[in-house]
Chains A and B, each alone.
Chain A
Amino acid sequence: MVDQSKWDWETREKEVPFDPWKENFNWVEEPYASPDGEQVAAVVNIDEGEFNVCVNGETWESPFEKIWYLRYAPDGRLTALVSDMAEWTVAVDGVPWENKFGYVWNTLFSPDGKHIAVAAQADGQYCMVLDDTPWETTFQNMTYFAMSPDGSKTAAVVQVTDFGEGEVHKFQEGCFTAALDGNAWDTKFVNVWNMAVSPDGTKLAAEVRLNLYEYSIAVNGQVWDKSFPCVWEPVIHPIDGSVVAPVRTAGKWTLAKDGEFLWDARFPQVWHQQFSADGKILAAIVSPKYGRWTVAVDGRPWGVTFGTLVSDLVVSPDGSTIAALTKEGETWKVVVNGAAWKDTFDMAWRPVISPDNRYVGAKVERQGKYTVVVNDRVWQKECDAAWDPVFSPDGEKVLLRTLENGRYLRRVLPVTEITG
């Protein structure tokens, strides 16, 4: 993970003028703030077919014909997908990778930001590219993508057998598999979807369809002993390496571990399961009753349910704090450990849990104005844009990144200024 203790947690407020950029360029696209809040950046148009990235008012050294997917890596490097002379690559802090492709997309970052990967196509062949190094093997199609937790490996669902338009029976024999660092499994499947890579990078698990009706999980190409009428994406236990996935059985859903039912409870829906960092707590978004939604922890649903949606499940490293977003009709709320906050919003973003578990915060929006909410207390600032709050390592302070009246602001406040 990124060492946030080195960030400036002392200066109360820093400012970067943002509106003046609009006078210097034809247009300025949506801004992005760096994780440490020191920078704000946006794609800007200079001329017809000429784009650049503006960072704190300064453009990158060279412009490009096209730029999209501007995103900060967790370590603060600024990346974008860029094109010149009909070739695409990744630019990191303005410097393009040496390798160029017909197209690149789907940027992935390791949690510590040290590794950057994209999916790439060149001459109709597909591969992953990790830190400017493409796989040695390429494939005729590539669909789903994943990165190992340490960022040292990449995986993709790849097509390994050719089939023509309308060759439905050949397709049903299995033309797809998964590949880790370009090494495809020997086993072929009708479909392969979402994957997970184990922390040590030795295990690749994926949801697979064996034929039109049987689904299962394959781990390093080996299919679980049992198949199911449907499965969702697997996760890998952070400590013991077991694989857990939602599976459908007799018209309902539950969780299975290494092919055996893990939870006794059955639900109309189960997905987005997540372990705590120590692997002791397993939570998932569930529908305990048709049309109602909540979170289940180790198979036991919270007492409170919601009608429209539960999303953005977040589990603290020790599992003691579990947060999610809920939606009833058009309004969003944050719910923490089974208790819904009183304030409602027109939109909310993934909750953030402080390292000491004392606080949960989220970026929220009401009537087009953005702010943050911490422990159910709304920060009394209405901003034109805001980014997720970041809690200091000791949990005492919160970093707030906002746009207000044409200015980008980086603030560090004691959390109690919001919570009271």
Chain B
Amino acid sequence: MAEPAVTQDQEKEEEQKVVDDGIDVGISRLTTDKIETVINQVLKTETGARLKTYVNTCIHCGLCSEACHYYMSHDKDPKWSPVGKVKQTIWEMIRKKGRLAPEEIRRVVEIAHTECNLCRRCLQFCPFGIDIAYLISMARRICHKLGVTPKYIQDTAHSHSVSMNQMWVKGDEWPDTLQWQEEEARGEFPTLRIPLEKEGADIMYSVIAPEPKFQAQLIYQAAAIMETAGVNWTMPADKGWDNSDMAMFTGDNEIMGRIKRSHFETAVRLRVKRIVMGECGHAFRSVYDTGNRWLGWSHPPIPIVHAIDFYYELLKENRIPIKEKFKEPVTLHDPCNVIRGGGLMEKSRYVAHALCDTVVEMHPNREYNYCCCAGGGVINCGPPYKLKRVKSNKVKAEQLMEARTRGAKVIISPCHNCHSGLKDIKNYYDLHMDIKFFGDIIYQIMEKPE
């Protein structure tokens, strides 16, 4: 593994220079009295037995520490351990009965938003099953209520609030992009359709806004797969098409609920039986777990099928004819939200083996896989935190490098945030590995019209 290109001094300087309007302006407006009021209001009215149980149960054993990629990547410095992060945030708020100084809130927001991915790997190792991601999420909720959230992710939450998508995609841009992709794809699949607003289709296919904004080829590929597999599908032309949710990660539960309501009610309006979502992890968490529950739906009112699950189904039923398996050896990254959160680890492996000649397992794997360090909204906090993010996942680079020494040349990452995070890691640590979605590989190797 090559040494990073920049010197340690340069890095240190860059890390210390973080300027973030979202935090700086927010902090300048705070007083200790306001902080006290907000913290106590949130702790009193928005947490209950769950928080109390977690706080009273933790015996500070530290078994969570080595589960955390931040801790492992920072020479096991306890301040990066999950319990250390809780100690510096929620526990401090409880200990001081909410009376924190504005500068202490700055540290809380840095930890909650840029030093924890809410990946829940630590939960796998806690002897009591304490969900530290929940505790850090509460810290984010408090930061939101205090008006101190990193600028880039706050901007994304604003985009959600205006347009119900995370990239400020305007009402006309969405259907126009789909029609453009449909037209492009007809060069290869002459009768292909991206059926808009087709009421009664079996499936509503939903994506995240970066797809129409920057990665329209993923929509093309999905349409090609649907066409080849003969799926009766549709995409909405209006709001509700974006399954992503950064408001969930900023603690803006009200906007989270609003965008999830839009998503599910669009599926209900289109009379589809299932929502199939693209290869995104955090969106799965929002539609399968968090957003629906805030609205009062204990389960998604329309079943949610992640792309891994959908590809598994199509391959199992031989609905995608494969011309030739993917030759280059691959390794499989297990995204937190769909593997630890959704239990799709074996289906993911089925898909990988069905598509690829050689699958090299990275270790640890499945529910014990290391996080990409991009998820949980961390990558969405933007460029100011990029260096900290990649340096905080040295352990992931080592894990990937180890798979590479056993022959893996391509990382399959069925999650958008993981994809971007792993790309940064491979570039920073000079790993020389390619990264692909399952959809990239399926499109590449499936039979297409002559």
A and B held together in a complex: yes
Q: Which of B190-222 contact A (CB under 8 A)?
A: 190-191, 193, 195-198, 200
The answer to whether residues A327 and B301 also contact, given A30-B195, A165-B155, A166-B152 and a CB cut-off of 8 A, is yes
A405: Cβ under 8 A from any B Cβ: no
| Smallest CB gap from A293: residue in B | B296
Given known contacts A103-B176, A171-B158, A209-B161, is B297 in contact with A309 (CB within 8 Å)? yes
Q: State which of B172, B257, B297 has its C-beta within 8 Å of the C-beta of A119.
A: B172
User: Residue A229 at the B interface, CB < 8 A?
Assistant: yes
8 Å CB interface, A25-84 against B: 26-27, 29-30, 45, 48-49, 66, 68-69
Give A342-361 as 1s and 0s: 1 = Cβ < 8 Å from B's Cβ atoms.
Answer: 00001101000000000000
In the complex, A121→B297 CA distance in Å? 36
* Chain A nearest Cβ from B300, distance in angstroms: 9
Query: Does B144 reach chain A (CB closer than 8 Å)?
Result: yes
| Chain B residue at smallest Cβ distance from A144 | B239
- Which of chain B's residues have a CB closer than 8 A to the CB of A104? 172
Task: Judge whether B45 and A102 touch: CB under 8 Å.
Answer: no
Chain A nearest Cβ from B384, distance in angstroms? 11
Let me know if B175 is at the binding interface, CB within 8 A: yes
Find out whether the CB atom of A191 lies under 8 angstroms from the CB atom of B161: yes
B258 → A minimal CB distance (Å): 8
Q: Is the CB of A309 within 8 A of B268?
A: yes
Contacting pair B298 A290 (CB below 8 A): yes
CB pair A291–B298 under 8 Å, yes or no, is: yes
What's the Cα separation between A126 and B145 when bound, in Å? 34
Question: Do residues A168 and B175 form an inter-chain contact, with CB atoms below 8 A?
Answer: no
Cβ-defined contact, A48 with B186, below 8 A? yes
CA distance A159 to B229 in the complex (A): 42
CB neighbours of B298 from chain A (8 A): 290-291, 307
**Min CB distance, A116 to chain B, in Å?**
17
Closest B residue to A166 by CB, please name it.
B155
Is B399's beta carbon under 8 Å from chain A? no
Within 8 A of A (CB), among B158-201: 158, 161-163, 168, 170-172, 175-176, 179, 183, 186, 190-191, 193, 195-198, 200
Q: Determine the chain B residues whose CB is within 8 A of the CB of A346 once the complex forms.
A: 273
Complexed CA–CA distance, A215 and B252 (Å):
13
- Tell me whether B62 is interfacial, beta carbon within 8 Å: no
| B158 and A168 contacting across the interface, CB-CB below 8 Å | yes
Say yes or no: is B151 at the interface (Cβ < 8 Å to chain A).
yes
The verdict on B110 contacting chain A, using a C-beta distance below 8 Å, is: no
A145 to chain B, nearest CB (A): 9
A176 and B162 form a contact (CB under 8 A)? yes
In contact, B45 and A212 (Cβ under 8 angstroms): no
In the complex, which residues 351-374 of chain B have their Cβ closer than 8 Å to any Cβ of chain A? none
CB of A6 within 8 A of chain B?
A: no
| Contact A68–B196 (Cβ < 8 Å) | yes
Chain A residues touching B, range: 35 or more
The answer to whether the Cβ of B238 comes within 8 Å of any Cβ in the partner chain is yes
Q: Report the separation of the CA atoms of residues A346 and B158 in the bound assembly, to the nearest whole angstrom.
A: 37
Q: Contact partner of A26 among B25, B191, B268, B301, CB < 8 A?
A: B191
B15, CB-defined interface residue at 8 Å:
no
Complex contact A212–B144 (CB within 8 A)? yes
Tell which of B144, B171, B239 has the most Cβ of chain A within 10 Å.
B171
The answer to whether A220 has its CB under 8 Å from any CB of chain B is no
Q: Hey, which chain A residues are within 8 Å of B198, CB to CB?
A: 30
- A402 interface residue, CB < 8 Å from B? no
A308 touching B299, Cβ below 8 Å: yes
State which residues 223-270 of B face A: CB under 8 Å.
Answer: 237-239, 252, 254, 257-258, 261, 265, 268
Given the complex of chains A and B, what is the CA–CA distance between A126 and B25 in angstroms?
Answer: 33
| Cα A358 to Cα B163 with chains together (Å) | 42
A34 to B160, CA, bound (A): 37
Q: Is A141 an interface residue (CB 8 A)?
A: yes
Q: Are A212 and B252 in contact (CB under 8 A)?
A: yes
Which positions 117-169 of chain B face chain A at CB distance < 8 Å?
144-145, 147, 151-152, 154-155, 158, 161-163, 168
Known: A69-B197, A349-B271. A105 touches B179 (CB 8 A): no
Contact A66 B179 (CB under 8 A): yes
Residues of A within 8 A of B407 (CB): none
Residues of B with C-beta under 8 A to A169: 21, 25
B342 at the binding interface (Cβ < 8 Å): no
Most chain B beta-carbon contacts within 10 A, residue among A29, A143, A166, A330: A166
Query: In the complex the two chains form, is A106's CB within 8 Å of B268's CB?
Result: no
Which one of A215, A269, A347 lies within 8 Å of B295 (CB-CB)?
A: A269
Can you name 9 A-B residue pairings with CB atoms under 8 Å? A69-B237, A143-B162, A143-B163, A143-B239, A159-B162, A165-B155, A165-B168, A166-B21, A168-B154
| Chain B residues with a Cβ under 8 A of chain A | 21-22, 25, 45-46, 144-145, 147, 151-152, 154-155, 158, 161-163, 168, 170-172, 175-176, 179, 183, 186, 190-191, 193, 195-198, 200, 237-239, 252, 254, 257-258, 261, 265, 268, 271, 273, 295-299, 301-303
Apart from the given pairs A29-B195, A190-B161, A251-B46, 18 other A-B contacts in the complex at a CB distance below 8 Å: A45-B191, A68-B196, A105-B237, A105-B238, A126-B172, A143-B162, A143-B171, A143-B239, A168-B22, A168-B158, A191-B162, A229-B254, A251-B45, A269-B295, A287-B296, A291-B297, A291-B298, A309-B297
Binding site for B on A (CB under 8 A): 26-27, 29-30, 45, 48-49, 66, 68-69, 102-106, 119, 121, 126, 141-143, 159, 165-169, 171-172, 176, 190-191, 193, 209, 212-213, 215, 229-230, 248, 250-251, 268-269, 271, 287, 290-291, 293, 307-309, 311-312, 327, 330, 346-347, 349, 365
